[in-house]
Structure 1
Amino acid sequence: MGYKVAVVGATGNVGREMLNILAERAFPADEVVALASRRSLGTEVSYGDKTLKTRDLATYDFSDTDIALMSAGGDVSKEWSPKIGAQGCVVIDNSSAWRYDADVPLIVPEVNADAVAGFSKKNIIANPNCSTAQLVVALKPLHDRFGIKRVVVATYQSVSGAGKEGLDELFAQTKAVYVNDTVEPKKFSKRIAFNVIPHIDVFMEDGYTKEEWKMVAETKKILDPKIKLTATCVRVPVFISHSEAVNIEFEKPVTADEAREILRSAPGCLVIDKREPGGYITPYEASGEDATYISRIREDITVENGLDMWVVSDNLRKGAALNAIQIAEVLINRKLLPAKKKAA
């Protein structure tokens, strides 16, 4: 018997990607339902070779639904995830609403799949921030072998991380520059076309942004609370895929060759690292792909047991939709979620 899956926020960038990936991976679903707010009622979205019409989240009965893939923002998740979970439907939430709740597992399947077993406390599982997801996929195999003490990361995050408005703003501003028209920032604090903005999410009292704080808190929860991490998160004029320049200090000696070999055999990682022009991955090439790509692996000569690398991944896929569906697959493969009996 297959599963009944609801995609909440099905008309958004990540919701549409969830539907695409469910079809691509032949997820064992007997039925997939697209849900959205009342204002999007009846909007058509694609699921494989089918077209689904969105239904109203507010009036939907989750009692016969097995999995809700939630990508409708933190406020919606705070209100609806507990209600959905109480109806016996497991919520896999893409927002930040539940990531720091001690009773909600924060999961990247390649890193901490075993922690998923704790989902039954609230019937909610959290997806990490997009920039964190790709980072910990690359860090995990190295941490297991050499022990990570400290990480310094600078991110180069695409506008799709800010939703459809971010994509639209980059497109509109780029066009305006070419025709010598006025460039007006709306979604972002400053012009994004042909520019970079060292500011994602709100500023906190210590001068870090919330996006940077998320990377710290989530890496500790997913990987190891003893790891020290500092981040600078930057929005760049790229449509899809986040890139990260990562500096790592280890407890044990490490060489670039050892790291390269370990990462080549690690789940979710794909090493493209030739020391020649073009021998690395850029965000354009990672777009539409599932892997976390790792390039520019080299020893940091300024610190003992140090390593530098370049990490790139599609933020709509591994950073959001793909990771959520991989979590659902873990639940099923580990027989933690039997399909509900369907009415005859």
Structure 2
Amino acid sequence: MNENLRIAVVGATGVVGREVVSALFDREVEAEQLTVLASERSRGETLDYGEETLVVEEATPTALEGHDLVLLATPAEVSRTLVPALQKTGAWVVDVSAAFRADGSVPLVLPGFNSEVLDGPLKGRLVALPSAVTTALACVIEPLRRAFGVAQVQVTALMGVSAGGNAGVRELEQQTAALLSGREPEAGLLPQRVGFNLVPQVGPFMAQSPWTEEEAGWTLECARLFAPRGEVPVVAGTAVQVPTFHGHGLSLQVRLKKPAPVEQARAALKGSPAVKVLDAPGEKVYPMPSLVTADPTIHVGRLRAFPQAPEWLTLFATVDNVGRGAALNLVEAGLRLAARPG
């Protein structure tokens, strides 16, 4: 690790930002190399960093000057505001929000999937990361694509409220407490009450479209990630907000180009370092959000096939949306960029 490297984490007091700080500590980044920033209301808060304490600064263009690497764990509107000024400082910038995922001039990078992009020629010094759901999709699709080819993926994503950050977590906490006390809470950040409920809407709907921005994002991001491989599976599905705090569950129907027995599909998935197969349902072993927390792999199980449609494979997957789906991607991509010569 370059001891002169200066790293800024923006959004450090959020759900993802705190995980980013923890991941940097695990990689032995010294506290002196790190600046933690957030909104004005968080200025002056402190974060534990081993035996040291980091004081949160307000994220202003001036405060971000002098850094080599800026990790943005911020909402899309904040990223769009900060990036133009950051690009003038010469810092590498990695953004986890949806702000630049659809921008063809900004590389979309998933560490471990297309990390080589970080070593090649880059236009500008900004890199975007895919969503947590797309992260899981890509990690599951790729070993199946290599072994059998993949034509189509249908997904129902059951998303924990931490996808909405601290505000989403607080809303579920408050709604659960109210319902257990016999009171009917009102929706706030989320479009409908999520406490003891399922809401088939995550994020806003696109203009004049039946798809939400979250759902449309999976299709676009998967197309961008798989296009260089010469095979772009059609990905579509529904995002459902569920009353859990952390972790996303994905119910997947995958149409293979070459039908494969379940045993062969399971073997292909086991061969991927990005995936952990938990598939012994008779022993009550299968993926669950409670098991994937703090695990950098995607958990996969409940593999099934139908004799009447042998090209279709059904499975269930889970991803730690805060860790692997966001913070770890930020840190891994950022440190690899910072290690580039020049």
Give the TM-score range, shorter chain. Answer: over 0.9
Aligned to 1:309: 315
Q: Which of 305, 315, 335 in structure 2 is aligned with 1:299? A: 305
CA contact (8 A) 2:31 2:49 kept: no
Q: Which moved more, 1:118-127 or 1:231-240?
A: 118-127
Gaps of 5+ in 1: 339-344
For 1:337 and 1:66, the matched residues in 2 are separated by 12
Shift of 1:226: 2.8
Shift of 1:133: 1.0
For 1:136 and 1:130, the matched residues in 2 are separated by 10
For 2:236 and 2:182, the matched residues in 1 are separated by 39
Query: Hey, which bits of structure 1, 4+ residues long, moved more than 4 A?
Result: 27-30
Letter in 1 for 2:36: A
Aligned to 1:234: 240
Aligned to 1:341: none
CA contact (8 A) 1:86 1:123 kept: no
Letter in 2 for 1:13: V
Shift of 1:56: 2.3
Aligned to 2:263: 257
Letter in 1 for 2:146: D
Q: Which moved more, 1:154-163 or 1:132-141?
A: 132-141
Q: State TM-score, norm by structure 1.
A: 0.92
Aligned to 1:342: none
Q: Secondary structure at the match of 1:143?
A: helix
For 1:337 and 1:29, the matched residues in 2 are separated by 23
Shift of 1:310: 0.7
Letter in 1 for 2:273: P
Shift of 1:123: 0.5
Aligned to 1:269: 275
* 2:214 is the counterpart of 1:211: yes
Aligned to 2:136: 134
Q: State TM-score, norm by structure 2.
A: 0.92
Shift of 1:72: 1.7
Aligned to 2:48: 46
Shift of 1:161: 0.3
Letter in 1 for 2:16: V
Q: Secondary structure at the match of 1:109?
A: coil
Aligned to 1:284: 290
Q: Which moved more, 1:57-66 or 1:319-328?
A: 57-66
CA contact (8 A) 1:196 1:236 kept: yes
Aligned to 2:225: 222
Shift of 1:274: 0.5
Letter in 1 for 2:163: G
* 2:200 is the counterpart of 1:198: yes
Q: Which of 86, 89, 97 in structure 2 is aligned with 1:87? A: 89
For 1:108 and 1:29, the matched residues in 2 are separated by 27
Letter in 1 for 2:263: D
Aligned to 2:79: 77
Letter in 2 for 1:166: G
For 1:169 and 1:289, the matched residues in 2 are separated by 25
CA contact (8 A) 1:103 1:118 kept: no
- Aligned positions of 1:82-121 closer than 5 A: 82-117=84-119, 120-121=122-123
Aligned to 1:325: 331
CA contact (8 A) 2:61 2:82 kept: no
For 1:128 and 1:302, the matched residues in 2 are separated by 35
For 1:278 and 1:327, the matched residues in 2 are separated by 36
RMSD, aligned CA:
1.9
Residue-by-residue CA offset, 1:66-102 (whole Å, 9 max, x unaligned): 2111012112211212321221111110111111111
For 2:12 and 2:341, the matched residues in 1 are separated by 23
For 1:276 and 1:282, the matched residues in 2 are separated by 15
- Aligned positions of 1:239-250 closer than 5 A: 239-250=245-256
Residue-by-residue CA offset, 1:220-256 (whole Å, 9 max, x unaligned): 1112363211111100001000000011111122221
Q: Secondary structure at the match of 2:60?
A: helix
Q: Secondary structure at the match of 1:308?
A: strand
Q: How many residues align?
A: 336
Residue-by-residue CA offset, 1:117-169 (whole Å, 9 max, x unaligned): 45731201111112111111111111122111100000100000011111111
For 1:105 and 1:311, the matched residues in 2 are separated by 26
Shift of 1:59: 4.8
Q: 1:337 to 1:262 in 2, by over 3 A?
A: farther
CA contact (8 A) 2:162 2:169 kept: yes
Q: Which moved more, 1:118-127 or 1:96-105?
A: 118-127
Q: Which moved more, 1:115-124 or 1:210-219?
A: 115-124
**Identity across the alignment (%):** 30
Aligned to 2:62: 60
